């Protein structure tokens, strides 16, 4: 497996991060899974905020920290926004029926997963990784994908 960078960009504000996601949203259709990597406060939830806006929805996007899953259905494509932070492992996610969202054949929307590390092994479908790194007040956003192999 080889990791290929699709895009690497530095943003200087929350607004700029949202604008990157908003533009990305215009290019994507259903059946896509994104993982979001980055520390607490990196901007993962704001990335989803911009994305939902880019799909043409004015819904209020909030962190699914406690709900685990928030659904936004008013845009061009439904968005399933997970935060796995409070889960212990993939088995817990499976008990909650989250597996069905990682079957690209049946997926009828776009999935975002904050803290995918918590459910290692559950996201076994091909997906796009969005990594957000803090550099002082700025953020480095790297969007990448794995190619080769069956995954
Ligand atoms: P996460 O979901 O990764 O925990 P949030 O999106 O909830 O992060 O919060 C990101 C925080 O960082 C917000 O308070 C936001 O205003 C701030 N911030 C500062 N600079 C940026 C930037 N360039 N991109 C995104 N967020 C930023
Ligand atoms: Mg968050």
For 81-108, the pLDDT digits (tens) are 999 999 999 999 999 999 999 999 999 9
CA neighbor of 116 nearest in space, from 84, 76, 79: 84
Is residue 14 within 6 Å of ligand 1 at its C-beta?
yes
- Residue 8 makes CB contacts below 8 A (sequence gap 6+) with 140, 141, 142, 143
State percent of the chain over pLDDT 90: 92
- Name the domain count of the chain: 1
132: CA distance to ligand 1 center in Å? 10
Q: Which of 15, 34, 40, 46 to mutate to test the pocket of ligand 1 (most atoms within 8 A of CB)?
A: 46
Q: What is the CATH number of the domain that holds 6?
A: 3.40.50.300
Give the Å distance between the CA of 34 and the centre of ligand 2. Answer: 14
**What is the tens place of the pLDDT at every residue in 110-126?**
999 999 999 999 999 99
pLDDT at position 149, please? Answer: 55
Domain that includes residue 103, residue range: 2-147
Q: How far is CA 39 from CA 35, 60, 87, 132, 133, in A?
A: 13, 22, 16, 8, 8
Enumerate the β-bridge partners of residue 139: 11, 134
């Amino acid at each position: 497996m080889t990791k290929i960078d699709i895009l690497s960009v530095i943003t200087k504000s929350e607004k700029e991060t949202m604008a990157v996601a908003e533009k990305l949203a215009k290019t994507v259709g259903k059946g896509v899974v994104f993982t979001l990597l980055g520390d607490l406060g990196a901007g993962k939830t704001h990335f989803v905020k911009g994305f939902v806006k880019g799909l043409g929805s004015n819904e209020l996007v909030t962190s699914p920290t406690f709900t685990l899953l928030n659904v936004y259905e008013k845009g061009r494509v439904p968005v399933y926004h997970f935060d796995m932070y409070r889960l212990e492992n993939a088995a817990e996610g499976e008990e909650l029926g989250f597996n069905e969202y990682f079957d690209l054949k049946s997926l009828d929307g776009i999935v975002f997963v904050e803290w995918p590390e918590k459910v290692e092994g559950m996201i076994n479908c091909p997906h796009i990784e969005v990594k957000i790194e803090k550099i002082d007040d700025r953020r480095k956003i790297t969007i990448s994908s794995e190619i080769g192999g069956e995954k």
